[in-house]
Amino acid sequence: MTKTVVIITGPTGVGKTEFTTAIASRFNSVIISADSRQIYKEIPIGTAAPTCEDKRAVKHYLTATHSIEDYYNAWQFEQDALQITNREFKHRDTIFMTGGSMMYIDAFCNGIDELPTIDKELREEIKERYEKEGLESIRRELKNLDPQFYNIVDLKNPKRVIHAVEICLMTGKPYSELRTAPRKKRPFKIIKIGLNIEREELYNRINKRVLKMVEKGLLKEAYGLLHKKELNALNTVGYKELYPYFNNEYSLERAVELIQRNSRRYAKKQLTWFRKDKEINWFNPAQNDKVEEYIKDKIFDIL
C-alpha cells in the first residue's frame, strides 16, 4: 500500500484538533502537529493545544516538546516531521498532520532551505536602524526586497519583519524563495484537506473560544510568563494583547476584545494563504464520514 500523509488544515478556531483526532483514531494512526506555537510546553491554554484526552485517543507528535526559550523554525519542523514519518511508516501506511501554520505545512510538503546564520555586524546594523527609524522603515525595505513575503508576514511583528530583511540581505535572495524553490520530492503521497465554515459562524466560534481560554486560566498562564514577554514565542495572539493589560494600559475587557479581533484577522490571513493552494480539498468539519470516504478513495486511487 502507498505510504500517505493526510494533512488537515484550516483557519484557527475551526476545530482541526478535535476533527483530526477523531478521524485519525478511525485509521488507527498518529498525528503530527503543524502548529508553530503548540510546540511550546509553557503555553497550552493560549495555543489550544491537544488535551490529555486527545493524546490518550491518538498519539500526537510535536506538541509541548520545546521551551518558549528554544529557537525553532520551519526548516527544523521539516526535518523533525520527516524523521517522524520515516519512523511511523514502518508501522502504518497512513499518517495524519494537522495545524494552521502555513510555513510549516509548506516546508513539509515542498521543502525549505536551511536558513543561514546572520552576520553579527548585519544584525546590529538593522537593529540600530530599527531603533532610530522605527519599524515602518524596515517594512519598506522588506516590501522592496521581497514583496511576496511582505504580503503574508505579520507586519506588526518586528522580529519577523526584521528577520526576513536579515535573510534577504544575507543571501542576496528573497526570503520567500528559500521556501519555494526547488520543490523537493517526497517518498510518500500527500493528501490535503481544508476545514472551513461560514465566516459568521467561524468568527463566532473564535470569539467563544477566546472566552473559554480565559475561563481555563489564560490570564494566569500569561502572567506567569510576564518576565519573558520579549521572547518571540510570546509575541503571538493571546499573549501580546494581555501584557499591556497587566501594565494597566487598558481593561481586561479591551484585552479580550483585541485577542478576539486579532484571532479573526489571523484566520482571514490563513484562508487567503490556503486558498492559493489548489491541492487542498475543502470540507465542513461536520462532514466526518464524507472526509473519511474521500481519504479512502484517494488512497485507493494512488495504489
Which residue range forms the structural domain that includes residue 136? 120-180
Peptide bond just before 182 cis, omega within 30 deg: yes
Residues 29, 162 share a domain: no
Residue 145 has pLDDT above 60, yes or no: yes
Q: What percent of the chain has pLDDT over 70?
A: 98
Residues 220, 202 share a domain: yes
pLDDT-derived band at 271, boundaries 50, 70, 90: very high
Residues 292, 160 share a domain: no
Record the pTM: 0.82
- What pLDDT does 300 receive? 73
- What pLDDT does 50 receive? 96
HEC string for 65-109:
CECCCCCCCHHHHHHHHHHHHHHHCCCCCEEEEECCCHHHHHHHH
pLDDT-derived band at 180, boundaries 50, 70, 90: low
Q: Look at the chain and report how many structural domains it folds into.
A: 2
What one-letter code names the amino acid at 92? R
pLDDT, tens digit, 9 for 90 and up, residues 28-68:
999 999 999 999 999 999 999 999 999 999 999 999 999 99
Residues 187, 175 share a domain: no
Output the average pLDDT for the chain: 92
- The CATH number of residue 130's host domain is 1.10.20.140
Residues 189, 157 share a domain: no
Could you say which of 165, 180, 195 is where a domain stops? 180
Residues 66, 104 share a domain: yes
Q: Do residues 9 and 99 make contact, with C-beta atoms less than 8 angstroms apart?
A: yes
pLDDT-derived band at 138, boundaries 50, 70, 90: very high
Residues 164, 59 share a domain: no
Residues 95, 139 share a domain: no
Could you say which of 180, 211, 230 is where a domain stops? 180
- The CATH number of residue 67's host domain is 3.40.50.300
